[in-house]
Amino acid sequence: MTVTLAEDTAVAQDDRTAARVVDGRAVVIVIDERKLHTLNDVGTRIWQLADGRTIGEIAECLTREFDVTREKAVADTCRFVGELHAVGALRVGSGR
């Protein structure tokens, strides 16, 4: 399902997932899809920050923690959130 993502889109981990973060890398399992995903360090951070924050708030954190401009952080977060939403790992909604 295609969704429109923007800075004020709220993002949260789907309840039907299980994940483990080890040494800054995450394994995320989407239970109903029986699929396993491994995330890189930036992806893992986005996953950890997906607790109801908006994409803009997540991008702010990434800007502080990684050497990246806010514009690129927002764009990359939107793309990555879209990918994880498509596989059922993240829920997205209107901003808070």
Partner 1 sequence: MESTLVRWIPSEPPIARAAFAPSERFAFGGVAFELLGDHGRGPLTLPPNVGQFVSRQAMGGMVAHVVCSIREDASLAEHATGVHQVRWSWTGDYGRVETGRSKAEVARLQRGRYAVTARVAPGSVGLSALVRSLAAAIARREGGLVLHASAAALDGKALLFVGPSGAGKSTACRMLRGASLIAGDRVILQRTEVGAIAWGVLDGNDPATELPRGPVSLPVGAILRVRHGVGSPSVVTAKGAGAIAILRESLMVSAGSTEDERALLDDCEALAAAVPVLTVQTVLGTELTPHVRPWGGGGHA
Residues making contact with partner 1 (CB under 8 A):
15-27, 29, 31, 34, 36, 38-39
The distance of closest approach from Cβ of residue 83 to partner 1 in the complex, given in angstroms and rounded to an integer, is: 17
Q: Alpha-carbon distance 33 to 17, whole Å? A: 10
The distance of closest approach from Cβ of residue 36 to partner 1 in the complex, given in angstroms and rounded to an integer, is: 6
Per-residue CA distances from 14 to 19, 46, 73, 76, 94 (Å): 11, 14, 22, 20, 15
The distance of closest approach from Cβ of residue 43 to partner 1 in the complex, given in angstroms and rounded to an integer, is: 11
Nearer to partner 1, 25 or 64 (CB): 25
3-state secondary structure of 61: helix
The residue written with tokens 């040494």 in the block is 23
Nearer to partner 1, 1 or 22 (CB): 22
Do the beta carbons of residue 24 and residue 41 sit within 8 Å?
yes
Nearer to partner 1, 3 or 12 (CB): 12
Nearer to partner 1, 41 or 71 (CB): 41
